[in-house]
Amino acid sequence: MNDGKKKGVSRTNHVAKNILWAIINQAMMIALSLISRKIFLNVLGAELLGANSLFSDVISLFSFADLGFGTAVVFSLYKPIAENDQIKIKSLLQYYNTIYRYVIIVLIAIAIAFVPFLPNLNTTIPLGQLTFYYFLYQASCVLGYVCAYRETYVSACQKQRIITKFGILFSTIQILLQIVVVKITANYAAYIILGLIISIIRKITVNLYIIKKYPETRVGGAIPLPKEERKEIFKSAKAVLVHRLGNLAINQTDSLIVSIFINMTEWGLMSNYLVLKTAVSRLLENVYSAILPSMGNLVTSENEERQIKVFNTYDFINFWLYMFCYVALGTLSSQFIKIYFGQEYALRETTVFIFFTAFFIDGLRAPVSAMREANGSFRTDQWYTILAAFVNLIVSIALVGKMGLNGIYLGTCCAMWVLHVARTVLLFRNWNDINAFVYLLKILKYILFGSIVYILTFYLQRVIGTYLENSIFSFFMYGLCAFIVPNICVVLVFREKESFKDTMILFKKRLLK
């Protein structure tokens, strides 16, 4: 019993520390990125800003190149790490390292295969320059896979904060130096090359630290994994790959559709909103990543009743957190962009509403996705991810001609919901105490509730705006409204619900500890 309590405390402490450092990291990156972005926009212009954002999305699009082995091997590491089985750990890491050598070759081949599509982008940037910029970006993508198994191992050990601290240091140095380079040279190539150099230095430094701190990551002389275990990892990796392809087609192809069917300058304007959403998404993803190893530990050590109890509490906390971010981001982003970048860089409010509604629907999937990954259930819903990707592409392309950006993000909303339904049905068929239909109905109520709160907050801000000029003070008042209204609405509507009471008990325990 005491051992169980100690494990629970250990899980909680690791999660809390990882989340704290994730928050610190994102807060710093948001501030520095916004400063860098404004200088970039003023010196290099909206079209190069669109190209920069597009290349970042293309890199994310190619990130499926690890073929799913990263996630599959991490899941395989949970048990040997918990049992301190050094032999099995080294065998898994050696296998992971071997796979990544082939991954880099695959990545280079995919990057070259994408080059013929560059002339189809709607841009005035000369094709030669565009191709040169593209390959510089791809070089940084390839670098990310060099010795990636070491950083993955640290994360599986619930020590993600170590990687986060290095990330804070080197990202700060990179952004500050890139600001100086852009101001002095006004040269986009110099901007990318400097980022690549800093990434190389970071990779070397982090690996040297991990080797010293975790000598088990030296995989020389490791015993090869048995053939049956390799086959099992391959099966899980194939399922993860299908999921990843589908998720990327849902999330990362919007930039390509905008750049081809509208223009790259329009994507540059959209990317101002995207950078705000991405900053918050990464923070929430870091919270998710910090929780996942503990969820994996929970699944392997607790009974079904306890798992469902934890899931329900996590589900409500996730809804509250994402709804607040949805309302705050959606209602404040245009005001912020008008003040910081200029009136001409703001988009229509209907576009902003649909864009952040897609973010909200996607975020509500986090608890289901967490339990799915913690259980290692990579194969059950793999083809539904591809179905959702097709829904996104078909609806987006069908509507972009008539509705522009609105049509693209309506497609994204539809795809997010299809995926949510599939994963929920497949996860809950193994849990007798939770009905999938009832849960999905609850999620629909969450979406409706969040949308109503969004609209209410938006119009309250407009009322405030009639008495104030568009200024920093008015933005502060809008922000105060965006903070108060969603949280009051949650308390008023959900205060009698068991999930709300459990959440309050959990918060009180953490605050009084």
Give pairs for 481-488: CB < 8 Å, separation 24+.
481/331, 481/457, 482/327, 482/328, 482/331, 482/332, 482/457, 483/324, 483/328, 485/327, 485/453, 485/456, 485/457, 485/460, 486/323, 486/324, 486/327, 486/328, 486/453, 486/457, 487/324
pLDDT of residue 354: 93
Side-chain-side CA neighbours of 47 within 13 Å: the count stands at 9
Q: Is the pLDDT of residue 449 over 60?
A: yes
pLDDT of residue 73: 65
Determine the Cα–Cα distance for residues 69 and 27; give it in Å rounded to an integer: 31
pLDDT of residue 338: 86
Q: What does the pLDDT average to over 192-201?
A: 87
> Where is average pLDDT lowest: 51-60, 207-216, 488-497?
51-60
Reported confidence tier of residue 499, pLDDT bands at 50, 70, 90: confident
pLDDT of residue 488: 94
Q: Is the pLDDT of residue 122 over 60?
A: yes
pLDDT of residue 3: 45
Determine the Cα–Cα distance for residues 25 and 161; give it in Å rounded to an integer: 10
pLDDT of residue 2: 44
Q: Is the pLDDT of residue 330 over 80?
A: yes
pLDDT of residue 376: 52
Residue, of 509 and 161, whose pLDDT is higher: 161
Q: Is the pLDDT of residue 132 over 50?
A: yes
pLDDT of residue 481: 93
Residue, of 447 and 425, whose pLDDT is higher: 447
pLDDT of residue 510: 56
Reported confidence tier of residue 324, pLDDT bands at 50, 70, 90: very high
- Contact (Cβ atoms closer than 8 angstroms) between residue 159 and residue 81: no
Q: Is the pLDDT of residue 253 over 70?
A: no
Q: What is the percentage of the chain residues whose pLDDT exceeds 70?
A: 73
Determine the Cα–Cα distance for residues 299 and 294; give it in Å rounded to an integer: 9
Q: Is the pLDDT of residue 474 over 50?
A: yes
Reported confidence tier of residue 6, pLDDT bands at 50, 70, 90: very low
> Could you give the C-alpha distances from 54 to 50, 127, 129, 267, 344, in angstroms and in order?
6, 15, 15, 8, 21
Within 8 A by CB and 6+ apart from 59, the residues are: 137, 138, 140, 141
Closest of 209, 186, 195 to residue 33, by C-alpha: 195
Reported confidence tier of residue 5, pLDDT bands at 50, 70, 90: very low
> Where is average pLDDT lowest: 186-200, 372-386, 437-451?
372-386
Residue, of 323 and 183, whose pLDDT is higher: 323
Identity of the residue numbered 441: L
Rounded to the nearest angstrom, the gap between the alpha carbon of residue 395 and the centroid of all alpha carbons in its chain is: 23
- Contact (Cβ atoms closer than 8 angstroms) between residue 45 and residue 325: no
Q: What does the pLDDT average to over 465-485?
A: 84
Q: What is the percentage of the chain residues whose pLDDT exceeds 90?
A: 11
- Contact (Cβ atoms closer than 8 angstroms) between residue 323 and residue 489: no
Residue, of 367 and 454, whose pLDDT is higher: 454
- Contact (Cβ atoms closer than 8 angstroms) between residue 337 and residue 272: yes
Reported confidence tier of residue 458, pLDDT bands at 50, 70, 90: very high
Q: What does the pLDDT average to over 423-445?
A: 79
> Where is average pLDDT lowest: 106-110, 238-242, 313-317?
238-242
- Contact (Cβ atoms closer than 8 angstroms) between residue 432 and residue 439: no
Residue, of 185 and 444, whose pLDDT is higher: 444
pLDDT of residue 266: 74
Q: What does the pLDDT average to over 254-283?
A: 75
- Contact (Cβ atoms closer than 8 angstroms) between residue 148 and residue 69: no
Within 8 A by CB and 6+ apart from 57, the residues are: 252, 254, 255, 256
pLDDT, averaged across the chain: 76
